[in-house]
Structure 1
């Protein structure tokens, strides 16, 4: 892609006719045309087993800035660009094997597949740039593996780094299902500090895939996002608000995806990607209707927000908003060091 090409966005929406109550969409944008280090979001569903996966991958640009590959047109790609896409391929292969062999979503088998594929993709020539922060083909990952049962949906999140997985329900709103692999995991503090990651997928150093399991009882939305979506807002609750505001103004899944794409490009300073699946809603109209009350509650949170010029008042509002929002938001967050079953 020419360097002067406009920033691009890719959206996707699908509703399988043979699987009532299920729909999915994904959004991908890049901040620098042709150089986006987020891979395309992964959206998979196996109709016979009623099992699916949504996932996002954010190449770690600082750790993987060295060139790793040159395409047929002579365009160099960074290790971060390559790493996110290679990891995406590995996860897709792993999910296929889990379905075909009837295996559970074990993080150790995913780690093995990632290491195998990343090792095969390692550049032949080592970079002359070295340091403790450097990695070969580094990327984050947040994935949700789910199985739709008659009475509930079994949900397993698998992640490495600071991309996140969430569940969004009409009664409880947005709840995070992962804990960032950073020393600081307070979501409000992270908006101003951007702490370094303590674990990420890469080809040249050890890494781990964490897992956490929950049950979704009733209707809800499962989603994964890179920090381009949630890392450039005023408070953690802003991410829920933009999801619901875009939903309420949309006519269908494709329109929702397009609106999310346009919205994130207005405020982010990074590549941004998101993948979600809605479960248990008869159609898009019911999805909107059931989230209307939650949307109105979100709107009320912003009444009386201080003017941006009054920094002290705005800081106080952000802290108070986070104080009231945090309990439900973190209800399903895994404890420090926990790997769910």
Structure 2
């Protein structure tokens, strides 16, 4: 998809469109997909409160001439950014979290456009500068009496994967702030985390149980930092980024992979996969949810689906989908601990180390 005034070789998902002065559809959601050569991309976006979801629309951009791509998701931090920050011309008010996520999306898109158009540095430091500049210029027309040490101005998470195709491989760099995540999904070994949440709790299962506060988010009024982690895969492979609405309401980390593979096995196209993911996540999540994904090096969708059939069978045999139905929290907790112990080594194999 192309946009006026933008490089026609960049694919970027559209934003949800609503008729003027009319409410959005309920429930609000958007799915998008595109294919080019041996690249298949999709995005999924849902919101719990139509018109007020604090996840920005996910970003999936690809520059055909150079083989450069970017996936990114943004989750406005509704707790620290709950104060009103912007009032639309028709009188609707949006929170700082809502504004912050969308401003960060704009900054990431501008950064990537500069990388492919003007050969600007593709470093996390340059992206940080873009984020700070766009956040500083963001409108702040609403006023709030909410104050306190936990308050942030336009706070949001970000999880992004910058990638570049080579002759046979994919160079990638994950860049993030907060608790949104990026992953690799590989045919032989399944789901691998490429990021580590900015929280004091480092165990992924414990994070599901506790939902610990974040220690670092993008915002307009305080210092923040972007973490980065990079590597290279041989093709074919799948890269993705997701907000916690997709993975934060599962019983175990393995169940996010189950969701991805089960819906993949039912789909016939990338567009169908996106739709199945959306329909699967909306009934079970308690939050806005967004995901951006690209499959690289598969001849077509049938080959993509077939490449993960054996992995899905392995996941099923391992019992990762089999949530105990017996009464009592101890039974569920024992099952979580047991399955996490077997799943964890592969899941964390490519995860960056614990920060000191």
What's the TM-score once normalised by structure 2's chain length? 0.91
1:336 corresponds to 2:354: yes
1:35 to 35, 52, 55: 52
Partners of 1:283 and 1:307 in 2: CA distance = 39
Structure 1 unpaired stretches of 5+:
none
Match for residue 46 of structure 1? 63
Match for residue 196 of structure 2? 179
1:24 corresponds to 2:44: no
Match for residue 14 of structure 1? 34
Aligned residue runs from structure 1 range 200-215, under 5 A: 200-215=217-232
Partners of 2:215 and 2:187 in 1: CA distance = 34
Partners of 2:64 and 2:182 in 1: CA distance = 22
Deviation of 1:219 (Å): 1.1
Deviation of 1:242 (Å): 0.4
Q: Are the structure 2 counterparts of residues 75 and 305 from structure 1 closer, same or farther at C-alpha, using a change threshold of 3 Å?
A: closer
Match for residue 302 of structure 2? 285
Match for residue 275 of structure 2? 258
Partners of 1:305 and 1:273 in 2: CA distance = 24
Match for residue 318 of structure 1? 336
What's the TM-score once normalised by structure 1's chain length? 0.95
1:123 to 112, 136, 140: 140
1:47-73 residue CA offsets vs partner (Å, 9 max, x unmatched): 000000010000000010111111111
Is the Cα contact below 8 Å between 1:122 and 1:137 reproduced in 2?
no
Deviation of 1:104 (Å): 4.4
Aligned residue runs from structure 1 range 1-341, under 5 A: 6-16=26-36, 20-123=37-140, 127-302=144-319, 305-337=323-355
SS of residue in 2 equivalent to 1:206: coil
Structure 2 unpaired stretches of 5+:
1-20
Is the Cα contact below 8 Å between 1:122 and 1:203 reproduced in 2?
no
Match for residue 5 of structure 2? none
Across the aligned residues of Structure 1 and Structure 2, the Cα RMSD in angstroms comes to 1.6
Aligned residues: 335
SS of residue in 2 equivalent to 1:58: coil
